[in-house]
Each structure stands twice: as C-alpha cells, then as structure tokens.
Structure 1
Amino acid sequence: MSVSIVQKYNVPGPRYTSYPTVPYWEEEKFHLDDWKRTLLQSFKESNATEGISLYIHLPFCESLCTFCGCNKRITKRHEVEDPYIAAVIKEWKLYCDLFPRKPIIKEIHLGGGTPTFFSPENLEYLIKGIFQYATKAEEHEFSFEGHPNNTTKQHLQKLYDLGFRRVSFGVQDYSPKVQEAIHRIQPFHNVAKVTFWAKEIGYTSIGHDLIFGLPFQTLADVKDTIDKTKSLQPDRLAFYSYAHVPWIKGNGQRGFKDEDLPKDDEKRMLYEEGKKQLAQNGYHEIGMDHFALENDSMFTSFKEGKLHRNFMGYTASKTQLMIGLGVSSISDSWYSFAQNEKTIEDYYTHLADNQLPIFRGHVLTPEDLIIRRHILNLMCQFTTSWKDKALDFPELPSVLASLEEMQEDGFLTIQDDTITVTEKGKPFVRNICMAFDLRLIRKAPETKLFSMTI
C-alpha cells in the first residue's frame, strides 16, 4: 500500500458505534420525556420477540492505563463497590417501573473501567439484583471484560454460574517497553492463566483485545504479540487502532510524547502484518477491527448477516433496545439515544431524587434512521443497498459521487443500487461511512473531535 494512499485517507473520523455520532446530537431539542416515550415504544415492539440488552458500566480501576479513553475512576478503595452496585440496581428498578411488563434480557455486557475490580460476591449481588425485576431469554449472551492481572478463578466461576459464557481480556501488547509507556504491566503468564481457567470452566467464547499504533510499538512487537496470542487460541480477537485523543481525555493519554507513536504508513504496516498473521492462523475478519475463529458465534453471525453494532461494539445478535446502566452509559431505543451523567457524584444525586440519571440525548429524525441503516450495513456486512426505496434519500446521488474516488482507488464497487466494500477497502470502512454522514458533511468540526481513521 503506497504512502500516498495512507496519507490521503488518514483523516479524523468517527468509529460509528452510533449514528448520529455523539458530537452531532441535538441536545437542545432533547427532553427526558422523549427518551421515555421512545423507550416504551421500542420495548413494546421488541421485548417479546427479541428481548433487550443491558450494558453495565463499572468505572473503577486501581491504576491508570495511559492508552485508555474510557470513563473511569482510579481508586484502591474497594468500599466504593457496595454503594455503586446499589445505585445501578436502583437505576434498573426505575426503568422496570416504567415498563408495562417484565423485561426479557437477551444480552448483558459488563464493561469499564475494570469489572473485575469488583469482588465475585458483589458481581453476583449485581446480577441477581438485575434479575429481581427481569427474566432471562432462553438464548442469552452474557459477557464481561476481565483484567488479566486481577481476574481470579472465582470471578470466572461465579459469572459462569450466573450464565456468562463470553469473556474478553485486555492484552494490548506484550512488549515490556510498550507496557511501561502505557502503564499496563501485564506478563504473558497472567493472560495465559486466565485464558486457560476460562477454557477449563467452560466459557464458549474467549476474546483478547489487542491494539496497534501504541507508543514505541514495532513490527517485531506486533508479530511477537500475535505469536503469543495464537498459542492461547482465543475464539475471537479485537485488533484495534489506538485512538489518540488526549484533547478529550486530558492527561490520561499524555504518558508519552506524540512522536513516540507510529505514524501513517508505519502504523498501517503494523495492522497489515497483524491481519496477515491472524488469517494464517484461521481467524476471519469480521466487521471492522475484529477477527474470529469459525467456531465463534461472531463468525456465524457475520456469515448469516446478523452481526450488529452499537455502543458496546459488535454483537453477535441484535436487540432493538439497549439500556445503559451506570455512570456515563449510553442507552439506545433505536429511535433515540440517552447518556447518563459522567461523574459518579452527579449520577448518585439523580438517583437519590428517584430520577433517571440522564443528562443529554438525541431523538433520531427520519433521515437519521435511513443513514443509520446504511452505516450499520457497511460496518457490519461491508455492503449496503437502496433496492428498498425506504432506504433512498435525496442526497444519495451526491454521496455516490463522493465515493467515486474511493471506487477508483479500489476500495469499493458501486453497481446499480448496491455498494460493496472490497478486501482492499475494509481498512477504510470508516472513510466510506463518512461519505454517508450527512451531519458531518453539513457541519465539519471546528475543533478536534475524532481519532484518525488509520
């Protein structure tokens, strides 16, 4: 791949876990009543047929990883666990009081922060508290993020007994120099131990999260990390581009200098080498930045055209309604988005007043819903179509015209009423989606909002 192509398309752009993206939400038009109305509409349409999803944000970490862009609270004081879990359960009860009947939960994902900061007993208390007011779907998928340094066998066994079958471990990179730069000292032995425990207990989908483009990371580092990873045979992998957004996350991403990061062509080479090694070891590319073995549910979902993407990332099954619980969590009714307060103190204050802790949101317009569908199609299946006239829109001709250069560069094909992303174009799917992003096109950012696409 030529340097000119990489430089040409390496621009700031969204990761499209939603459309519209958060900076383009019309917050001034949003009211809590809008969220409740669309919440109930979506619940009535989908609860009985597909159930709902829960994302539960557990924000505490004992130390700061300087690559991390998540909402977190650094503390070693574990007495914070009890009041936080009580608050999450209270928030969930406020939702359940709105529903006309018991919700059926199809998916739960525990994210963070560090979910395994919490004791196994407290995680059990949390999940049992959730199911005081809900029932479990027959074909459910419960997952959590585990930190290899503090995930115990008791964590894994307790969550397995509660119905969890998928776990992802944050690995990032095995190079000691890289680990020191990102403040995440994590020996291979720790990752191997928790991976083998999970296999022994019976988890059916074990994932590792890797990152390319980290400070001081070299081609040899990526090769070594993937060699070590393949020896453990996780069922799925996330191989993310490091999102360097220190202007958003403050000093948390200032543990190294900008010049310590691999740039443009060098960074893309790390991805291409990693992707090649993964393919040689039986991992299939799924959507953007994800890879899976053929036995994994994500591979099956991709092949069957059922892969879905939301604020949790890629999921093997779709639910129309996703509720985010906990500080900073984002909920999605399909018709609107709502985000919780970002500080724990503000989150607690709302709940003390028996109010949902929401501070902003967006109600999707009819145009938003059409564009959202096209972007979801491209992100999940690498293709989209407007054969169904309900997916046509007035600006489509100009969108297609803007994609002609990418077609000439071999990233996609446009035939009749269908766009298909080529193998060469898959690493540039964010750029392709940006051509559909009418809100971004109409109002280009005046400040830095997004990470680079490559």
Structure 2
Amino acid sequence: MNNSILQKYNVPGPRYTSYPTVPYWDEDNFTHEIWIETLKRSFVESNSKEGLSLYIHLPFCESLCTFCGCNKRITKNHAVENPYIEAVLKEWALYCDILDEKPIIKEIHLGGGTPTFFSTQNLEDLINGIFCYAVKAKEHEFSFEGHPNNTTHAHLQKLYDLGFRRVSFGVQDYSEKVQKAIHRNQPFHNVAKVTFWAKEIGYTSIGHDLIFGLPFQGVDDIIDTIEKTHSLQPDRLAFYSYAHVPWIKGNGQRGFNDEDIPKDEEKRHLYEVGKDLLDENDYYEIGMDHFALKSDSLYDSFKNGKLHRNFMGYSSSKTQLMIGLGVSSISDSWYSFAQNVKSLEEYYALLETDQLPVFRGHLLTEEDLIIRKHILNIMCQFETSWEDKANYIAEIPEILAQLEEMKKDRLVIIKKNGIQVTDAGKPFIRNICMAFDLRLKRKTPETQLFSMTI
C-alpha cells in the first residue's frame, strides 16, 4: 500500500455500528416516552413481517483481557449468575408488557463479557424465560460468543438444543508473547477442541475473531495465527484492527506501553499480509473486517444484497427492531436508539422499581435516517445510491466534493447518482463513510473520541 495514502487517511474515525455515532447522540431531547413510542411504532411495522432481534449482554469475566473495550465485571464468584438472569428476564417482561402482541424473535445474540461464564442451566433458564413471552420465527438465527478456555461440550450441546446454530470464538492471536501482553493465555488446542466439538454437534456457522495491531505482534505472528486458523476451517472470520483508546477504556488497556503497539505502515502491513492469506485460503471479504467461506450464510447475504449491520455486528438478515437486554446494552427501533445504564447496581435498582433501565438515547431526524441508509449501504455493499429522490439530501454535492480526493486516489468511483468503493478503497471504508457523516463535520470533536481508521 502507498505510504503517502496511508498517512493521508490514517485519522481518528468511527466504526459506524450506528449513525449517528454514540458521541453525537442528542441526549437532551431524548426521553423514555420517545423510546417507547418509537419502539411500539417499529414493532407494529415489523413484528409480523420479519420479527425482531434480541441482544443479551452477559457481562461477567473471570479475568481481564487488556485489549477489550466491552462493558464487563471481573469476578470468579459464580453466585452472580442467578440474580443477573432474573434481572434480564424482568427487563424482558417489562418490554413485553409494553407490546400489544407476542414478539416473534428472529435473532438472538449472547454477547459479553463472557456468555460461557454462565452455567448451562442458567443459560437454559434464560432462553426458556425469554420464550415464555415470545415465539421463535420459523427461520431464526441464534448465536453466541464463546471463550475457548471455558466453553464446554455441555455449553455447546445445550445451546444447540435451544436453537443456536452459530458460535464465534475469540482467538485474537496465537503468539505466547502477544497473549501474555493482552492477558489472554489461550492455547491453540483449546480453540481446536471447541471448534471440532461445534462441528460434531452440528453448528452451521463457526466463527473465529482475530485482531491485528496487538502489542508485540509481528508478521510471523499473523502468518502463524492465520495458518492455524485455516487448519480448523471456521466458516467465517472477523479480522479486526486493534482499537487502542486508553483515554476511554482506562487502565484495562495500559498493560503494555504505547511503543509496543504496531503503528501506521507496520500495522497496515500486518493487515495486508493477513488479508492476502485469507484470500489464498478462500475467505471472501465481506463488509468491513469480515471474511467468509462461500458456503456460509454471510457470503450469501452479501451477494444477495441482504447483509445488515447493527450493534451486534454484521448479520445475514435484517430486522428493523433490535432490543438490547442487560447492563449497557443498546436497543435500536430504527427511529431511535436507547442505551441501558452501565452500572450493575443501577441496573438492578431500576428494575426493582419496574423501570426500564434506559439512561440515554437519540431520536433520529429525517436527515439522520437518510445518512444512516447511505452509511449502511457502504458498510454492507460497498456502494450507495441516491437515484431514488427519497435518498437525496441537499448536502450531496458537499459530500461528493470531499470524496473527490478519494476518487483521485482510486478509492471510490463517483457515478451519476451514487458512489462505489473500489477494491483499493475497502481498507478505507471508515474514511469514506466519514464523508457522509454530517454530524461529525458540523462539530469536530475537541478531544480524540475514536480509534485510528487504519
């Protein structure tokens, strides 16, 4: 990759799991009443046609991984499981009381934290408790994140019996030096064991999450990790850039020095080496940071124009309504976002008084909704269009003017009524989306809010 282009575009930028991004939410004009009104509206519009998605945040981990930016509570005390499951089911019951009919659940994703921190019995109680108030969609997709060190055969079998067919395992990197730096001692045989178990049980989509740009990580580490990964043949892969944002995540990301982290050209070279290896091993690039075999549903949805992206990441199908349960979870009615409180103690206290534990959110404007569509199109299909006048806004000429430099650098193709990301432009997809981010352009942050784009 041309170093001058890399330096030009390596700037702080959002990952666009939402638009507007969380730092640009208009919290002052958001209320619980607004959230409930848009929730009901979206439910009426979508429940019978496509169902809804549930994201359930399970925050407990037995040890701290220093690369992680998730909301988590570190403990070895498993007595915390039952009260938390009861609280999540209480929150779900409050939502179901608001809705006029039984929700049809198309997607469930268990994230964390470490979902497999919980016992199989508690996970069964959680899922069965959810379906006391809901029904499964005929073509549902349930997934969870498994830690290779503590995911047991019983975990995999129980969740499979409950309807889960997709699992992702956090791998990050197989180098012992890198693992020590990020406090994630995880031998290859642990990952191999859970991957083979999942295949034998019948999971149809097994994913591995890899990270480039970790402390002490070199080219040989990337090659070794991807070769080992290929030997296990997961169906899909996430190959993320490590986001070093210690000003947000505090001491959890200061287990190593800044100079230990690959930067700029060195970091991008790690990605290029990894991407080339993935290409050689028949993993097809899908959206940002994701790769899949052609046999995986994520590949089919990308090819058929049905790929979707939300706070759960990339999904092979779209639901208009996503409800987030658990501490810090974010919900999305399409018309508004709502985030739960981040403190476990506050979460429990609000539920004890029969209140939804939402503490902030954002009501999307008409402009927000149009920009959101364009950013989703770019993130999911590498192109967007305003041929339909409903997707045109007055700022399009301004956006195109900003993209002109990227056109000269052959990162985008500007068409009569749209743009297309080139293969050379795919590593810069966050930068391309930033051209559409009107809120970011109107109010440049005074301090660094986001990780570097490259």
What stretches of structure 1 of length at least 5 have no aligned partner? none
> How far 1:448 sits from its partner (Å)?
1.5
Residue correspondence of structure 1 range 14-413 to structure 2 within 5 A: 14-413=14-413
The AA in structure 2 aligned to 1:318 is K
State the alpha-carbon separation in 1 of the partners of residues 407 and 268 from structure 2: 20
> How far 1:368 sits from its partner (Å)?
0.2
State the alpha-carbon separation in 2 of the partners of residues 187 and 106 from structure 1: 35
SS of residue paired to 2:107:
strand
What stretches of structure 2 of length at least 5 have no aligned partner? none
Deviations along 1:256-280, one digit per CA (max 9) or x if unpaired, are 0111000101100110110100011
The AA in structure 1 aligned to 2:188 is F
The AA in structure 2 aligned to 1:403 is L
The AA in structure 1 aligned to 2:427 is P
Q: CA RMSD in A?
A: 0.4
Deviations along 1:208-251, one digit per CA (max 9) or x if unpaired, are 00000000000000000000000000000000000111100110
> How far 1:324 sits from its partner (Å)?
0.2
State the alpha-carbon separation in 2 of the partners of residues 427 and 110 from structure 1: 29
> How far 1:327 sits from its partner (Å)?
0.1
> How far 1:52 sits from its partner (Å)?
0.1
State the alpha-carbon separation in 1 of the partners of residues 352 and 245 from structure 2: 34
Q: After the TM superposition, which of the residue ranges 4-13 and 133-142 deviates more from structure 2?
A: 4-13
State the alpha-carbon separation in 2 of the partners of residues 25 and 95 from structure 1: 23
The AA in structure 2 aligned to 1:164 is F
Deviations along 1:355-394, one digit per CA (max 9) or x if unpaired, are 0000000000000000000000000000000000001001
SS of residue paired to 2:44:
helix
The AA in structure 1 aligned to 2:300 is T
Report percent identity of matched pairs.
76
> How far 1:76 sits from its partner (Å)?
0.2
State the alpha-carbon separation in 1 of the partners of residues 447 and 130 from structure 2: 40
> How far 1:151 sits from its partner (Å)?
0.1
How many residue pairs match? The answer is 454
Deviations along 1:155-187, one digit per CA (max 9) or x if unpaired, are 000000000000000000000000000000000
State the alpha-carbon separation in 2 of the partners of residues 446 and 401 from structure 1: 24
> How far 1:4 sits from its partner (Å)?
1.3
State the alpha-carbon separation in 2 of the partners of residues 166 and 412 from structure 1: 34
SS of residue paired to 1:207:
strand
State the alpha-carbon separation in 2 of the partners of residues 184 and 99 from structure 1: 42
State the alpha-carbon separation in 1 of the partners of residues 200 and 128 from structure 2: 24
SS of residue paired to 1:403:
helix
State the alpha-carbon separation in 1 of the partners of residues 257 and 306 from structure 2: 41
Whether 1:434 aligns to 2:441 is no
Deviations along 1:177-216, one digit per CA (max 9) or x if unpaired, are 0000000000000000000000000000000000000000
The AA in structure 2 aligned to 1:40 is K
State the alpha-carbon separation in 1 of the partners of residues 343 and 427 from structure 2: 35
